[in-house]
Amino acid sequence: MSTTTAATAPAAPAPASNPATPTTPTSLLTSTSFLQILVAEFQNQDPTTPTDPTQFATQLVQFANLGQLQNIDSAVTQPPATGLMQAASAYIGREVLAPGNQLGLLNGKATSISFTPSVTDSYTAQVFNAAGAQVDTVALGTQTAGTLDTFTWSPPSGNPDGAYSVNIVNSAGAPSSGLIEQGVVQSVSLTSTGVALDLGNLVIPQNQVGSVGVQPSGN
């Protein structure tokens, strides 16, 4: 008679234990807690064997150093937006230039448009309001090819503050290209796309500024 021996099934391996997960301190030592510890030492020292005054002096120095480190940490970890605005505020009062044909009118004073004629000819500035209606035509006279010229609009009475656009055309009515918006920064703001510079109803993104100068004399 044959005998069959059943194979013993291998025991299931015990589940591996998870490595200890490092814990993150729930709180850090602050200047307030440091001061509390120092006061507690004063209150609870043994009167018969007082702590060496040198140790207290050392702890006071450590406390001062802690305050300085916290101030530095606060400065370097300030929100990015705050840093951007602080940097952008340096533009206020400066004259900036950016590509474009827009000008702003605020309190009767307009920003400027610069252009460089490709040919020597007589030129005219055509000014349009935000609705696209032409509100003014200004003769600029003969301009020399390759020479930078600036058109600063003196609006007729009745034109409200706001944004306007400009075409510079030659005697044949052909518009000039490469116009440059120019004005003094009045304020800065933070938008969803970055910092914007307001020249007085003319807003220019900071990343489009091609040149920065000092505030023109007399402004």
DSSP assignment string, the chain: ----PPPPPPPPPPPPPPPPPPPPPS----HHHHHHHHHHHHHHS-TTSPPPHHHHHHHHHHHHHHHHHHHHHHHHTS-HHHHHHHHHGGGTT-EEEEESSEEEEETTEE-EEEE--SSSEEEEEEEE-TTS-EEEEEEEEEE-TT--EEEE--PPTTPPSEEEEEEEE-TT-PBPS--EEEEE--EEEEETTEEEEESSS-EEEGGG--EEEPPPTT-
80-125 pLDDT, tens digit each: 666 667 777 888 999 999 999 999 999 999 999 999 999 999 999 9
Domain range annotation of the chain: 87-213
- Across all residues in the chain, what is the average pLDDT? 79
Supply the pTM of this predicted model: 0.60
123-159 pLDDT, tens digit each: 999 999 999 999 999 999 999 999 999 999 999 988 9
CATH of the domain spanning 87-213? 2.60.40.4070
